Amino acid sequence: MGKSSKDKRDAYYRLAKEQGWRARSAFKLLQLDEEFDLFNNVSRVVDLCAAPGSWSQVLSRVLIKGEKFGRAAWQDREARFRQQMLSVLPEEFSAGQKSKLDEDLLQQEKELKPRKDVKIVSIDLQPISPLAGITTLRADITHPATVPLLLSALDPDYDAHKDATNSNQTSHPVDLVISDGAPDVTGLHDLDIYVQSQLLFAALNLALCVLKPGGKFVAKIFRGRNVDVLYAQLKIFFEKVVVAKPRSSRASSVEAFIVCINFRPPPGFRASLEEPLGVGERLNRMVVERERQKPIIAEVLMQDPQAPATWSAAPVPPTGPAGDEVTEIEVYDQTEDTTRDCNQDIRWIAPFVACGDLSAFDSDASYQLPEDYVSLDPVQPPIAPPYKRAIQMRAAISGGPQR
Ligand SMILES: C[S@@+](CC[C@H](N)C(=O)[O-])C[C@H]1O[C@@H](n2cnc3c(N)ncnc32)[C@H](O)[C@@H]1O
């Protein structure tokens, strides 16, 4: 299969090379940002499973260089245009003025707005070719030793020898943790989904150690059986949990991204290496605790008995003085919580959104290329791909060159 055949079948692969991204994954992050405004108010970021580094490139261009892409760029241009129109509108709008306006807009667009105090740490098992302003670490995110490594990369004053129960938190917490982790897919679906879930588990545990309250977490998931249990667990830590499918992610793939907004750990929660995520007894206690916080105090309303019930109310003992007219009820939205069963198995179905501009390329379609089209080389070939040794061994056997 020729290079240009792949360029035809995968518009994002081709675009990545044309636009200087190290991988087509860059478009997934850009499309997620278009939908969720991920980079708004963000200056400290951890990029997990980051090689070859296209997500880190996006971070570098948006946060360090101050470039704008997608909707942010469009909104900015519109706002400036409106501003300029307001100041010139009373006058007659001559051709000269119009081209001056266009020039001004272009000039302003080129002005970059780098953010202050940006800190980006990127981690992968594979080496990541250096990116200006980004700290890269070669480490396994599932290994416990990676947590202190990350904490010291984020915070030079971090002391790994302090009391273990207090030290798994950095004093300069981060605003956003992103993880595009994927194992080498075997094709054995259940195994792939299991390994992927372990990566997600490790990514979330790292996120819990470094995120600041209000922070965001975005991670790749494979939508397998029981994935809703995962959503429910994430809901313990974040106010909003959404599953998103960017247009640049093939519709035929089980891949999606979980976008978690507003980190709000349960009271008393402390990230711990010994009990990641509060697994075991602590997780159950946290679920109960979170549920206890849910009740909404509301006056009992007269309900139309014919109306379809979307809200359920479970009375709980009144807390006010005897004779209070207000009755306390526990309210939960049945449209959100469809799976409350008699085992008290708390499940929650996350909303699913497709994101990316509708005019964007369809990642499952093939596109005709011009006849004089020249296929470009990838921007950053892998430095030490896992298949390198196999190539060397095969070359050694056949006596060919070892690359
Ligand atoms: C799809 S690629 C990431 C692409 C990257 N986001 C980009 O934009 O260039 C998945 C990465 O996960 C990494 N990975 C898999 N398991 C890992 C682990 N246990 N620890 C760290 N990285 C891991 C792989 O080495 C691979 O580079």
Least confident of 168-182, 236-250, 319-333: 319-333
Beta carbon of 57 within 6 Å of any ligand 1 atom: no
pLDDT at 344: 52
Q: What is the mean pLDDT of residues 260-286?
A: 73
pLDDT in tens, 190-240: 888 888 889 999 999 999 989 999 999 999 998 887 788 888 889 999 999
Phi, psi of 352, deg, nearest 5: -120, 125
Q: Which one has a higher pLDDT value, 155 or 81?
A: 155
Residue 374 C-beta-side C-alpha neighbours within 13 Å: 2
CB-side exposure of 313: number of CA atoms within 13 Å?
14
Residue 91 CA to ligand 1 center (angstroms) comes to: 56
Residue 180 marked as a ligand binder: yes
**Nearest atom within ligand 1 for CA of residue 141:** 20
The three-class DSSP label of residue 326 is: coil
Higher pLDDT, 386 or 108: 386
What number does the ligand 1 atom closest to the CA of 181 have?
12
Q: CA torsion sign, 231 to 236 to 237 to 240? A: positive
- B/e letters for 328-353, b = 16+ CB within 10 Å, e = fewer, are bbbebeeeeeeeeeeeeebebebeee
Q: What's the average model confidence in pLDDT over 143-149? A: 88
Q: Are 135 and 123 in contact (CB under 8 A)?
A: no
In this predicted model, what pLDDT tens digit does every residue of 82-120 receive, in sequence order?
A: 666 666 555 555 667 667 666 766 666 667 788 999 999
Compare 184 and 351 and report the one with higher pLDDT. Answer: 351
Distance (Å) from CA 201 to ligand 1 centroid: 14
Q: What's the mean pLDDT in 351-360?
A: 86
Asked whether residue 53 is marked as a ligand-binding residue, the answer is yes
Q: How far apart are CA 30 and CA 274, in angstroms?
A: 35
How high is the pLDDT of residue 325? 39
User: Given this structure, which CATH class describes domain 26-65+118-286?
Assistant: alpha beta
Residue 4 sits at φ, ψ, to 5 deg, of -75, -20
Does 220 qualify as catalytic in the annotation? Answer: yes
Query: What is the C-alpha separation between 246 and 256, in angstroms, rounded?
Result: 8
Q: Of the residues 21, 30, 56, 124, which should be mutated to test ligand 1's pocket, given the most ligand atoms within 8 Å of the CB?
A: 124
Nearest CA to ligand 1 atom 19: 140
Q: In angstroms, what is the span from residue 123 Cα to ligand 1's centroid?
A: 8
The confidence score (pLDDT) of residue 293 equals 62
The response to whether residue 201 sits with its C-beta less than 6 Å from ligand 1 reads no
What are the residue ranges spanned by the domains of the chain?
Answer: 26-65+118-286, 75-110
The pLDDT value recorded for residue 111 is: 72
CA 23 to ligand 1: nearest atom? 9
For ligand 1, is residue 54 a contact (CB within 6 Å)? Answer: yes
- C-alpha 366/C-alpha 10 separation (Å) is 7
Q: Which has more confidence, 63 or 71?
A: 63
